[in-house]
A = this chain, B = another copy of it.
């Protein structure tokens, strides 16, 4: 067992897969500059020492091209791992991801495959509205894409390796405050969980959630940073005698509904916590699905604790207010206990 940060775990996943399969390569902005950062959050740092500059490919600031090139390379025998510096820039390449990456296999009647990975850092870090968004829900709505959100080093490595081997396009959402990026790329107020990662190879299948904390009164579903906020809230609630189960689905598409339904059979109460804004966030889909398929296990309304429906403000005082906090999560839980 080695202890590592999520950034390191992602790097190791890429390293192992690039060693295993020469079709795998990385492309993105500033990912391989000598004396540079190894991408905005150091994930690709140093990889070119082993794999060379062609397989860790620096690109111009051309998001449409980055995504389109990944699609083209993937259809013709390569396995690209592309990235954007901030998730917010995915909007610049949305056409290539939504109209091409997600649809090519289908439009071709299954005759082409698009085995590509698109990595994107999300989360608010006091940089203002254009560098703060969580875009998961825009992509869960696109048939043809798989969506994963690793919140631990163990998951980061295991899920990314699975993503690289998937023959469908996979979008990986990584949280800026969880990377544990070091040195000049370190983030104020980062959580940077360091986790145990086995020496031996392992893969994590998509669609299998993880119970981060077992409980009997309330089920909380959360991803990425919100897993940790939910755990904080759970600790507080425990002192009040409220037992919380925290489920991290780990992948949003496919989604482990079985685990959630098993849990609410026990708790009969459900809260979904997401850093994304509330209206039409992925939490809405989870709530709607449960309301359609498992309504009768519930004794209380389904609560969603999400970022308020506003662009992310710059001032930390405001940013902290709009993003779900342990306190807001705990309040939602107390409300539900009234039922």
Contacts and interface: CB of A to CB of B under 8 A. Distances in A.
Interface of A: 88-89, 91-92, 94-95, 98-99, 102-103, 106-107, 128-130, 137-138, 140-141, 143-144, 253, 277, 279-285, 287-293, 295, 298, 301-304, 309-311, 313-314
Contacts of A137: 141, 280
Contacts of A284: 280, 284-285, 287-289
Contacts of A283: 288
B107 A140 contact: no
Contacts of A281: 141
A321 to B, nearest CB: 14
Contact of A279 (B89, B285, B291): B285
Contact of A143 (B98, B277, B303): B277
A103 B129 contact: yes
Given A91-B99, A311-B144, A282 B280 contact: yes
Given A92-B94, A103-B130, A291-B295, 14 more contacts: A91-B94, A91-B95, A103-B129, A106-B129, A106-B313, A107-B128, A138-B138, A143-B310, A284-B287, A287-B288, A287-B291, A287-B292, A288-B288, A293-B301
A283 B292 CA distance: 12
A284 B288 CA distance: 5
Query: Which A-B residue pairs are the 8 nearest by beta carbons?
Result: A287-B288, A141-B280, A291-B291, A91-B95, A284-B288, A94-B94, A103-B311, A143-B309
Contacts of A128: 107
Contacts of A98: 91
A88 B94 contact: no
A301 B291 contact: yes
A279 B140 contact: yes
A229 B212 CA distance: 45
Contacts of A107: 128-130, 311, 314
A140 B309 CA distance: 10
Given A94-B94, A94-B95, A144-B311, A304 B288 contact: yes
B280 A302 contact: no
A137 B98 CA distance: 14
Contacts of A304: 288, 292
B130 A99 contact: yes
A68 to B, nearest CB: 12
A143 B293 CA distance: 29
Nearest to A96: B91
Contact of A140 (B144, B280, B287): B280
Contacts of A314: 107
Nearest to A92: B95
Contacts of A140: 279-280
27 contacts: A89-B95, A91-B94, A91-B95, A91-B98, A92-B95, A94-B94, A94-B95, A103-B129, A106-B129, A137-B141, A140-B279, A143-B279, A143-B311, A253-B279, A280-B282, A283-B288, A284-B284, A284-B287, A284-B289, A287-B288, A287-B292, A288-B291, A288-B304, A291-B291, A291-B302, A292-B303, A295-B302
